[in-house]
Amino acid sequence: MNKLLGIECGATHTVALLEQEGKVTKAEFGPANIRLISKKEFSHLLQKIAKTFPKPQAIAIGIAGARTWADQEDVRKSVQKTWPNTEFIRVTNDLETALAADSINKKKSRILVLSGTGSCCYGKSINGSTSKLGGWGHILGDKSSGYEISLRALKACVFYLDRDDTWSTLGQRILCRLQLNTPDQLIDWVAKANKPEIAALAKEVFAAWLKRDKIATDIIHAAASTLAKDACSCAKKLNNQNDSIRFVLAGSVLLKQPKFAGMVAKSIRTYRPGSQVVALKKESYWGALELAREMTKCKSQKTTKILIKQASKIPIPDLELLGKSPTEQRHPLSNKLDRITLGQAIELFLNEDSQIPAAINKEKIKIQKLVRWVINAFKNNGRLFYSGAGTSGRLGILDASECPPTFRTDPMQVQGIIAGGSKAICHPVEGAEDNANAGADAIRFRGINKNDVFIGIAASGRTPFVWGGIWEANKSGAKTALLCFNSTLKTPQKNKPNIVINPKIGPELLTGSTRLKSGTATKLILNIITTMAMVQSGKVIENLMVDLDPSNTKLRERAVRIVQQLTNADKEQTLKTLQKYKWNVKESINYLRNIKIT
């Protein structure tokens, strides 16, 4: 008989249900919002559940905060490690498990309207398409949640105390619940309180509302209106305005405050006449068990395979070909790197690096074409984007960050993007480079367009994060290029960059360490691209940086020398002019060239 395990992880607690031979066993554990718990803590939580429910055949887990495929894939790996022999695993967010708990009338498009500790609206149509509004967490979102209702109440109470010198009845209720003596003590309490502790104060706001407290009434009415509008907006994203929708109210706030739920339902019907609005009859964790049942009904498809398919929509080079890349091969001259003398090693490194310029020079025509694209982009208010992972990403960020001080450019003009974000600049972020969708999103949310140039940097030529960026840049009409060092690379037919710059520099002396020759070659090429684009954009006269930003003593001294060399002005006159033009070198030169130097 199948053993099915459904798990729902939320901000306040985790519930696990095991179904075996028609009998369901329930157990509760600690909170597990993926944004508020460490990987180690989550692993310990799963181990506790595994001790209670070992060896299930199928596991479905919905976890709060799992917004992206990468989030869900991290959870899947942890689940697989905890239950290594489980045949079926499905990982999703807690919104889908809640919607799955509404097993009635699945032939109608449905919107989950969730308000508990947090809040979100999540829709699913008959054909399987989804929509979402909210789910940004308590700092950026959670409108009309228990947390936001409580926080608005706290702020309102202290506001009216300051303005009217009166402590409201709502404030009195809150102090009583928290066993605090004065409003001043709220400062220390709220600084230490976590999200569930603050959200728990919503009970006092609702109690005050039922007692017709004006402050509480304003807060509750606004929350109901906002939640209804968000639910209807979510439905509009999913369906045409006239389509029939089943709205399912869920979460502790809506389910434990029926009068509030009634207000929300009435508002939804006002905004969308004819809609069906119901409260979720079962606790949302039953949906996790329902998803586990669904998996075993179709044994030919494992959920793990479905997840991998979702991540592979963007065409990338075949992983199996990576081993043939020169970047992965052993260099025949460095087989004894651990035994040769230090002097011999230095000579070997320098000899290898000396061959890089010749290899780059063979790609000169392509580099010229790429530089012209960048020049044209700058002339048309376009931008240059670098994207890479690890060393490649850091080199892109380095080159981009040098442009503002060297050429007085807007920091938006040349941008470096690294897989894993700012944390990855100094520390590796596990799995970041393997997510093509994240690479596409990083470019999409920078607003790339047809006036821009995108350069993906990947020593092996295969980094999925980079190929995701190429995919999105191609879709937007931007010019695209790939910089790599893999002569065996085969680019995907449906995701080809406009140019592939691929110098043949051979294997690294330290096998696979692409921070060496590949990194050096990358730095040389990026130097050429931005420097010559800036030269052609009028930021250089002769071989002098006339648009540098003199932000320190050394650069100010350089600015003085540049102006003097190009105008023959003396130092006193140069300093006076630079100060007049707020250390704008180019404007100072133009001024001094147009007057008679004395």
> Looking at the annotation, which residues are catalytic?
402, 433
Cβ–Cβ < 8 Å for 206, 144: no
Nearest by Cα to 61 from 308, 298, 284: 284
Q: For residue 496, give Cα distances in angstroms to 319, 369, 549, 576.
A: 17, 17, 38, 54
CA separation for the pair 225, 513 (Å, rounded): 57
Question: Could you tell me the two tokens for 238?
Answer: 């999913």
The three-state (H, E, C) secondary structure of 238-297, written as one string? HCCCCCCCEEEEECHHHHHCHHHHHHHHHHHHHHCCCCEEEECCCCCCHHHHHHHHHHHH
Question: Could you tell me the two tokens for 7?
Answer: 């798990």
CA separation for the pair 152, 144 (Å, rounded): 10
CB count in 10 Å sphere of residue 336: 9
CA separation for the pair 391, 259 (Å, rounded): 57
- Give the contacts of 65 (CB within 8 A, at least 6 positions apart): 33, 34, 35, 36, 71, 93, 137
Report which DSSP code applies to 446.
Answer: T
Question: Could you tell me the two tokens for 326?
Answer: 């020169």
Provide the CA 487 distance to its chain's centre, in angstroms: 32
CA separation for the pair 154, 108 (Å, rounded): 40
Amino acid identity of 111? Answer: I
Tell the burial category of 152 from Cβ atoms under 10 Å away from its Cβ (0-12, 13-18, 19+): buried
Helix axis angle, 169-178 to 185-192, nearest 10°: 60
Secondary structure of residue 146 in the 3-state scheme: helix
